[in-house]
Amino acid sequence: MKSHDSTHIKNVVLVGHSGSGKTTLAECMLFEAGVINRRGTIAEKNTIGDYSDIEHERGNSIFSHIMHVDWKDTKINIIDTPGMDDFVGEVISSFKVADTGIMVINAANGVEVGTEIIWEYADHLKKPMLFVANHLDEEKSDFDAMVEQAKDRFGRKVTVVQYPYNQGVDFNAVIDVLNMVMYRFGADGGKPEKLDIPAEEMDKAKQLHNDLIEAIAENDETLMERYFEKGTLDETDMQKGLLISIRDHELFPMFCISAKHNMGSGRIMGFIDYCCPSAAHMNPEKLTNGADLPCNSSNPPVAFVFKTMSEPHLGDMSFFKVCSGKLKVGDDLVNTANGQTERLSQIYLVQGKKREPVEEVLAGDIAATVKLKKTHTNNTLSAKGQNVEVVPIHYPEPKVQAAIHVHNKGDEEKMGMALNHIHEEDPTITIDHNMELKQTIINAQGEMHLAMLKWKIEHLYGIQFDYEKTRIPYRETIQKSVRSDYRHKKQSGGAGQFAEVHMLVEPWYEGMPDPPDLNVRGREEHPLKWGGKLVYYNCIVGGSIDARFLPSILKGVMDKMENGPLTGSYVRDVRVSVYDGKMHPVDSNDMAFKLAGMMAFRNAFREADPKILEPVYDLEIMVPADMMGDVMGDLQTRRGIVMGMDSDGHYQKIKARVPLSELHDYSSTLRSFTQGRGKFTRQFAEYAPVPFDLQQKLIEAHQEELAEA
Ligand SMILES: Nc1nc2c(ncn2[C@@H]2O[C@H](COP(=O)(O)OP(=O)(O)OP(=O)(O)O)[C@@H](O)[C@H]2O)c(=O)[nH]1
Ligand SMILES: [Mg+2]
Give the domain ranges of the chain.
Answer: 6-282, 286-382, 405-471, 476-567+580-609, 612-693
Distance from Cα 22 to the centre of ligand 2, integer Å: 5
Asked whether the beta carbons of 515 and 537 are under 8 A apart, the reply is: yes
> 20 CB less than 6 Å from ligand 1?
yes
Which ligand has the shortest distance to the CA of 134? 1
> 134 CB less than 6 Å from ligand 1?
yes
In the chain, the amino acid numbered 704 is E
**DSSP type of residue 178:** T
The reported pLDDT for the residue numbered 136 is 98
Distance from Cα 108 to the centre of ligand 1, integer Å: 12
**Upper half-sphere CA count for residue 392 (Cβ side, 13 Å):** 14
Which ligand has the shortest distance to the CA of 42? 1
For residue 302, which phi and psi values (nearest 5 degrees)? -140, 130
In the chain, the amino acid numbered 171 is F
Architecture of domain 286-382 in CATH? Beta Barrel (2.40)
Alpha-carbon span 340 to 224, nearest angstrom: 53
> 167 CB less than 6 Å from ligand 1?
no
> 581 CB less than 6 Å from ligand 1?
no
226 CB neighbour count, 10 Å cutoff: 17
Residue-wise DSSP of 179-215: TTEEEEEETTEEEEEEEPPPGGGHHHHHHHHHHHHHH
Residues in the chain: 709
Distance from Cα 117 to the centre of ligand 2, integer Å: 17
Please tell me the residue having the least CA distance from ligand 1 atom 9: 21
| CA 202 to centroid of chain Cα atoms | 46
Distance from Cα 454 to the centre of ligand 2, integer Å: 21
Helices (H), 402-474: 412-425, 447-460
**DSSP type of residue 224:** H
| CA 706 to centroid of chain Cα atoms | 40
Asked whether the beta carbons of 321 and 315 are under 8 A apart, the reply is: no
> 23 CB less than 6 Å from ligand 1?
yes
Alpha-carbon span 290 to 306, nearest angstrom: 20
Please tell me the residue having the least CA distance from ligand 1 atom 5: 260
> 55 CB less than 6 Å from ligand 1?
no
> 627 CB less than 6 Å from ligand 1?
no
Ligand 1 atom showing the smallest separation from residue 24 Cα: 15
Residues 6+ apart with CB under 8 A from 556: 593, 594, 595, 596, 597, 598, 599, 601
CATH 3.10.50.40 assigned to domain 6-282? The reply is no
Fold of 476-567+580-609: Ribosomal Protein S5; domain 2 (3.30.230)
Fold of 612-693: Alpha-Beta Plaits (3.30.70)
> 135 CB less than 6 Å from ligand 1?
yes
> 18 CB less than 6 Å from ligand 1?
yes
List the beta bridge partners of residue 378.
none
The reported pLDDT for the residue numbered 3 is 61
691 CB neighbour count, 10 Å cutoff: 12
Distance from Cα 272 to the centre of ligand 2, integer Å: 21
The reported pLDDT for the residue numbered 94 is 96
Alpha-carbon span 182 to 179, nearest angstrom: 9
Residues 6+ apart with CB under 8 A from 305: 318, 319, 320, 372, 375, 376, 377, 378, 379, 380, 381
Distance from Cα 190 to the centre of ligand 1, integer Å: 18
Residue-wise DSSP of 271-335: HHHHHSPPGGGSPPEEBTTS-EE---TTSPPEEEEEEEEEETTTEEEEEEEEEESEEETT-EEEE
Which ligand has the shortest distance to the CA of 88? 1
Alpha-carbon span 692 to 566, nearest angstrom: 13
Q: What is the torsion angle, in degrees rounded to the nearest 10, for the CA atoms of residue 205, residue 211, residue 212 and residue 215? A: 180
**DSSP type of residue 34:** T
Which ligand has the shortest distance to the CA of 17? 1
Probe target for ligand 1 pocket from 42, 54, 87, 268, with the most ligand atoms within 8 Å of CB = 42
Residues of the chain with pLDDT under 50: none
Ligand 1 atom showing the smallest separation from residue 16 Cα: 19
The reported pLDDT for the residue numbered 2 is 57
The reported pLDDT for the residue numbered 394 is 92
- Topology alike, domains 405-471 and 476-567+580-609: no
- 357: exposed, middle or buried (Cβ count in 10 Å: 0-12, 13-18, 19+): exposed
> 42 CB less than 6 Å from ligand 1?
yes
Residue-wise DSSP of 102-121: EEEEETTT-S-HHHHHHHHH
> 265 CB less than 6 Å from ligand 1?
no
Probe target for ligand 1 pocket from 14, 15, 17, 24, with the most ligand atoms within 8 Å of CB = 24
Probe target for ligand 1 pocket from 23, 47, 51, 185, with the most ligand atoms within 8 Å of CB = 23
Distance from Cα 51 to the centre of ligand 2, integer Å: 10
Architecture of domain 405-471 in CATH? 2-Layer Sandwich (3.30)
- 518: exposed, middle or buried (Cβ count in 10 Å: 0-12, 13-18, 19+): middle
Q: Report which of 191, 332, 178, 327 is spatially closest to residue 254, judged by C-alpha positions.
A: 178
Asked whether the beta carbons of 138 and 132 are under 8 A apart, the reply is: no
261 SS3 class: coil
